[in-house]
């Protein structure tokens, strides 16, 4: 795919005359808007039932023939509620969440807030049910049909017969069981992990009693009340995590005997990527020291909790970031794959159970994005990767025997796929810059590939004045690295005119803005701004994701500095465009992008006239331990870096109009950041504007998001146009 300023002038392709076309509102474009659901591309809700494909709708589930696409009704919502003899306790309200947990059985899993049921739709009756649906951290195992859940801060397991086991007694806001730990870093999204046979449960216990409370306030009561968050700031005391194992057969709980924190340079304090051995006798886990530069894959005995051995170790002069558990090959339980950036890009490595690296399975200057699963018949691994181009995500099969990679899709773009349990079939959902949503079913065991085209979504924006979306590349500040940008222009763009221009920026780790999906990944707010006569420019600088280890780690110990250098190369490019009015240049971003917005406004005060910074980090010493210390070290170990990146000392440099917006109860970038910057501005005599959303967190929820984006837009309308 050639990425050379390719323009998508969709408006010109519409059959309606321009005068008949409509203008967008934020109710159309924003996810909190009243008409947003009508403006999204059409899709299908699909589930695998073994190698059978089921389409879920509100009122019915239909079996889809993977060869012809022909649909037959499996059952309707009325059928389900009649067979279940539903009262309010069992009443199912829609079928969009129906799943089929047993490939060889006609059983559907359904639930509401009061119950979870398994219903045999051949026998037309409930074959199993519980009454614990809706609790916190609910985790059901389809093999044993046991459920782990948290209620009143305590961790419970209920077995298939309804016997209840209480695993904790001291749970509280300070002692947290069975939930995500380490502030969702290191790929952690939950806190309970069932063994393959469903007989043992590994779980996190997090003691955060020693962590400082950040004093959040609830303003809704007559007298505002304190609602503190546990918030470990960089360089300060963090929480302590242990891993328990509950055995359903014995009813006993043991804890893994992990190394105690003795203050040594490689003492592990982060425990992540928990994985069970296929025989359920061993637990594998990656252990990381607090400096995050020494990561070890280790094994524990699941019955005794005893440490067994270290399988491998990875160190770095910057940081190692484990994000993915190991995965055992289904045809050989003595072999597993591991993901690592050790050669500079995230790739797959084959190991045996002794910890010996057999070989590297993928290699090259591109990134494995995800492992979808395995095809046992072909003895291959199915992955997504950006091998064809950094802005794409494509689907591949990787032979374990030969390392040969085979492309499984046929179209440039961004593909997100779901593999059937056997690994023989794929649901391929993708979009391209000009195609909003396409769904194919691919049979990967045929040669050539057998592809069933299920959906080609029409453009939901047809009939509206649509902007022009372009994509291209420039060189980074190092003069070598390619950086990709997106530009959004008004639908009636005239190259003879000069336009006010807004640089939208994020720029931080684990995110990217530009990709080869619909409209080049454009955010709807950009369309709204283009409609109002602005050009919007978005550049992915070094430090962002999907470009390899060195690209990401270029910002180590100096967040914001390399990123600003690259963003200013984007500004240099804008200067070459005669239709960009450099006297009316604005900047906007949220979170890391808010930090970047104020960084650019204060470090280049004569360049940016107007800025809107949402939820901005102001000084990394007020950010949390895991993320902050990975990229910046501690304030004690990297004082120069913290001083260089802090925006407190930059308050006096502010010249343009700057609006800062935060959620009043932000648990991610706590209000201390913005408030401290405002204090510094008052002392320096500079005049930023400030708006706060009471009761909101790091991002505005629901219709408040419409209000937020109208406020952002109006600020540019008032001061940039």
Q: Which sequence positions are flagged as catalytic?
A: 591, 666, 698
* The token pair that represents 369 in the structure block: 């994005």
Give CA–CA dist 245/404, Å, rounded.
Answer: 39
Q: In what order do the strands lie in the sheet with 425-432?
A: 414-419, 425-432, 435-443, 450-456
In DSSP terms, which residues pair with 432 in a beta bridge? 435
3-state secondary structure of 161: coil
Full DSSP string of 686-720: ---EEEEETT--SS--TTHHHHHHHHHHHHHHHHT
Q: For residue 295, how many other CB atoms are within 10 A of its CB?
A: 25
Per-residue tokens: 2: 């050639």
Tokens of 433: 């810059």
Tokens of 285: 């886990």
- Cβ contact 398:381 at 8 Å: yes
Tell the residue number behind the tokens 């909790």, with chain if given: 305
The gap from C-alpha 559 to its chain's centroid, in whole angstroms, comes to 21
Q: How far apart are CA 57 and CA 108, in angstroms?
A: 14
Contact 43, 56 (CB under 8 A): no
Yes or no: say if 505 and 538 are a contact pair by the CB < 8 Å rule: yes
Local structure of 261: helix, strand or coil: coil
In the structure, how many helices (H) and strands (E) does the chain have?
A: 11, 44
Helices marked H in 50-130 — which ranges? 77-83
Distance separating alpha carbons of residues 658 and 479, to the nearest angstrom: 31
Neighbours of 544 (CB within 10 A): 25
d(CA 517, CA 225): 45
- Among 355, 248, 259, smallest CA distance to 312 is for 355
The Cβ of residue 304 has, within 10 Å, a number of other Cβ atoms equal to 12
Q: Where are any strands of DSSP class E within 534-644?
A: 535-539, 580-590, 610-614
Q: Which residues pair with 692 in a beta bridge?
A: 662
CA distance 261 to 289: 10
What secondary structure, in 3-state letters, does 621-662 show? Answer: HHCEHHHHHHHHCCCCCCHHHHHHHCCHHHHHHCCCEEEEEE
């Amino acid at each position: 795919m050639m990425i050379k300023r390719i323009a998508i002038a969709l408006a010109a392709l519409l059959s309606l005359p321009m005068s008949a076309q409509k203008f967008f509102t934020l109710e159309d474009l924003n996810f909190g808007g009243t008409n947003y659901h009508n403006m999204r591309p059409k899709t299908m809700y699909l589930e695998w039932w073994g190698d059978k494909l089921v389409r879920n709708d509100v009122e019915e589930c239909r079996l889809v023939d993977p060869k012809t696409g022909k649909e037959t009704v499996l059952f309707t919502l009325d059928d389900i509620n009649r067979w279940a003899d539903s009262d309010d306790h069992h009443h199912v309200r829609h079928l969009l969440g129906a799943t089929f947990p047993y490939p060889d059985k006609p059983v559907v899993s359904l639930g509401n807030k009061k119950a979870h049921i398994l219903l045999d739709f051949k026998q037309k009756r409930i074959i199993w049910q519980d009454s614990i649906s809706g609790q916190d951290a609910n985790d059901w195992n389809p093999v044993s049909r046991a459920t782990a859940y948290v209620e009143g801060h305590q961790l419970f397991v209920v077995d298939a017969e309804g016997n209840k086991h209480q695993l904790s007694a001291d749970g509280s806001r300070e002692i947290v069981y069975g939930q995500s730990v380490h502030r969702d870093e290191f790929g952690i999204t939950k806190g309970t992990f069932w063994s393959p046979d469903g007989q043992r449960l590994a779980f996190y216990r997090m003691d955060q009693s020693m962590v400082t409370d950040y004093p959040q306030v609830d303003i809704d009561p007559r007298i505002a009340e304190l609602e503190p968050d546990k918030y470990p700031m960089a360089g300060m005391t963090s929480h302590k995590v242990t891993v328990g194992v509950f055995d359903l057969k014995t009813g006993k709980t043991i804890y893994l005997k992990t190394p105690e924190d003795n203050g040594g340079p490689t003492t592990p304090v982060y425990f992540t990527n928990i994985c069970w051995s296929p025989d359920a006798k061993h637990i594998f886990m990656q252990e990381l020291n607090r400096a995050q530069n020494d990561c070890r894959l280790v094994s524990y005995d699941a019955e005794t909790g005893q440490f067994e051995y270290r399988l491998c170790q990875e160190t770095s002069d910057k940081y190692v970031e484990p994000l993915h558990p190991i995965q055992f090959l289904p045809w050989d339980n003595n072999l597993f794959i591991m993901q690592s950036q050790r050669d500079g890009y995230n790739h797959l490595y084959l190991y045996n159970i002794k910890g010996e690296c057999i070989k590297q399975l993928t290699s090259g200057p591109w990134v494995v994005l995800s492992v979808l699963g395995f095809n046992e018949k072909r003895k291959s691994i199915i992955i997504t990767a950006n091998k064809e181009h950094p802005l794409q995500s494509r689907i591949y099969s990787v032979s374990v025997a030969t390392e040969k990679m085979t492309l499984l899709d046929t179209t440039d773009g961004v593909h997100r796929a779901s593999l059937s349990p056997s690994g023989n079939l794929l649901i391929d959902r993708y979009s391209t810059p000009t195609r909003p949503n396409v769904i194919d079913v691919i049979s990967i065991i045929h040669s050539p590939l057998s592809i069933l085209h299920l959906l080609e979504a029409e453009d939901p924006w047809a009939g509206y004045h649509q902007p022009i979306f372009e994509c291209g590349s420039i060189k980074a500040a190092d003069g070598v690295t390619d950086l990709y940008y997106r530009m959004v222009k008004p639908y009636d763009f005239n190259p003879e005119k000069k336009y006010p221009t807004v640089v939208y920026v994020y720029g931080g780790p684990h995110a990217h803005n530009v990709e080869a999906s619909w409209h080049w990944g454009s955010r709807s707010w950009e369309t709204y701004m283009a409609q109002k006569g602005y050009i919007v420019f978005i550049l992915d600088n070094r430090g962002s994701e999907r470009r390899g280890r060195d690209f990401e780690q270029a910002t180590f110990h100096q967040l914001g500095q390399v990123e600003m250098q690259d963003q200013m190369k984007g500004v240099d490019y804008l200067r070459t465009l005669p239709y960009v009015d450099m006297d009316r240049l604005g900047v906007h971003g949220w979170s890391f992008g808010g930090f970047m917005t104020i960084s650019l406004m204060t470090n280049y005060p004569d360049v940016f006239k107007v800025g809107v910074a949402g939820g901005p980090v102001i000084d990394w010493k007020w950010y949390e331990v895991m993320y902050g210390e990975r990229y910046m070290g501690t304030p004690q170990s990297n004082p120069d870096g913290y001083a260089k990146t802090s925006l407190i000392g930059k308050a006096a440099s502010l010249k343009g109009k700057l609006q800062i917006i935060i959620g009043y109860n932000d648990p991610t970038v706590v209000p201390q950041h913005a408030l401290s910057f405002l204090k510094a501005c008052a002392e320096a005599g500079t005049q930023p504007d400030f708006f706060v959303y009471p009761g909101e967190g790091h991002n505005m929820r629901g219709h408040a998001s419409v209000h937020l984006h109208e406020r952002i837009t109006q600020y540019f309308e008032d001061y940039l146009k």
